[in-house]
Structure 1
Amino acid sequence: MRFGGAGLAAALAVGVAGSPASAQAGAPSASGVQPIEITAEQVPGGNPTFADLEELGFGDFNCAFEPFKVEPVTAGTHNFPSPINGSVTIELVNTADGPTFNFRINGEFATIGVIVKGGPNANFYDYRPDGIGSDEALHAPINPMSGDYYGLSHVDFCVIDSPYNGDNGATANS
């Protein structure tokens, strides 16, 4: 099932990237994860959730708790909801291509997916199956009018329990 979802995700990404009315997902993150643009045509309103991604055929997201949203996207440490003892630290970075951010999951957690909303669409970063404790250079889709990344509206994290992330940022694969 996981491989079938990945194939469908790749087909959706190719179809989305080939659409002339679409922005573009843009460059991969520092860890090499290529974002997949989710359009307002795929999810009305352009605000996809992990449940929407499941309905689009991206496979299952078994988050440890309700996906964690940071809105607006601000620098600093954002605590997970009580009684969960963990947080995500976000660093905002202004680049020549537009706003990006770095994140680090704090505690014995990792993220298996990040949705970055900006403009009419969103970018989805897929870190399954093991998850990741930190990454850099995540961004919203490219604004076709300017060629730069859209501004950051909000970010959703699908967080999982991960004993491999007790060092605040290592990947589960290391």
Structure 2
Amino acid sequence: MRVATRGRAASRIGARFVGVGMITAVALGLAAGPASAQPGPPSDAGVQPVEVAGNPTFASLDPEVWGTFNCQGQPIRIEDPEEGDTSGPITITNIDANNTFDFEVDEDFAVIGVIVKGGPNANVYDYRPTGIQADENLHAPINPNNGQFYGLSHIDFCVVPDGNNT
């Protein structure tokens, strides 16, 4: 019969504590890692953005979640947006230092959706069923590393004739 000496038993117990300590450290490291981005506050019209992973388009949004955005023709994309940019009936009316922006659309049209790409994800603003002709303080998701909105990569607008906003 083999009897463990006190040194061996202490050695085993010590190894177990080291193992538990390492597992705990890894778990705490994962829990303390950077949080995922958040969509941020609603626009001035009260539309709460929903963060969508990656680089979505209106066509790629899950129809079981979003239904279908029936944009007239192709959605309008404004790359690297700047204040005063115009594309078709859309005008960017303000971009501030916080990376928020305002838009307006010609009176014959309405916007039923906006996708704001910034950082690894995008925010989707859904104005259906009525659509809207202007809104303020739209933004990309919040960067969890600094608490600020990500910079604006591009903005997609789903535009329809005013009065046909479904």
Q: Shorter-normalised TM-score: what interval?
A: 0.7 to 0.9
Unaligned runs of 5+ in 2: 1-33
Matched residue, 2:84: 76
Matched residue, 2:125: 125
Q: Is contact 2:83–2:95 with CA below 8 Å preserved after alignment?
A: no
Answer yes or no: is 1:66 the counterpart of 2:71: no
Identity %: 55
Q: Distance in 2 between matches of 1:106 and 1:118?
A: 26
Q: Distance in 2 between matches of 1:54 and 1:25?
A: 18
Displacement of 1:79 in angstroms is 3.1
The two structures, once aligned, show a CA RMSD in angstroms of 1.8
Give me the TM-score of the superposition, normalised by structure 2. Answer: 0.74
Query: For 1:85-134, what per-residue CA distance to the aligned partner results, in whole angstroms no more than 9, with x for missing partners?
Result: xx211023325xx2100000014100100000000000000000110000
Aligned length in residues? 132
Counterpart code for 2:92 = I
Secondary structure of the equivalent of 1:51? Answer: coil
Instruction: Please tell me whether Structure 1 or Structure 2 has the larger radius of gyration of its CA atoms.
Output: 2
Secondary structure of the equivalent of 2:144? Answer: coil
Matched residue, 2:52: 38
Q: Distance in 2 between matches of 1:153 and 1:56?
A: 27
Q: Distance in 1 between matches of 2:136 and 2:84?
A: 15
Q: Is contact 2:76–2:87 with CA below 8 Å preserved after alignment?
A: no
1:140-151 equivalence runs, <5 A: 140-151=140-151
Q: Distance in 1 between matches of 2:67 and 2:49?
A: 16
Q: Which runs of 4+ in 1 moved over 2 A?
A: 54-57, 91-95
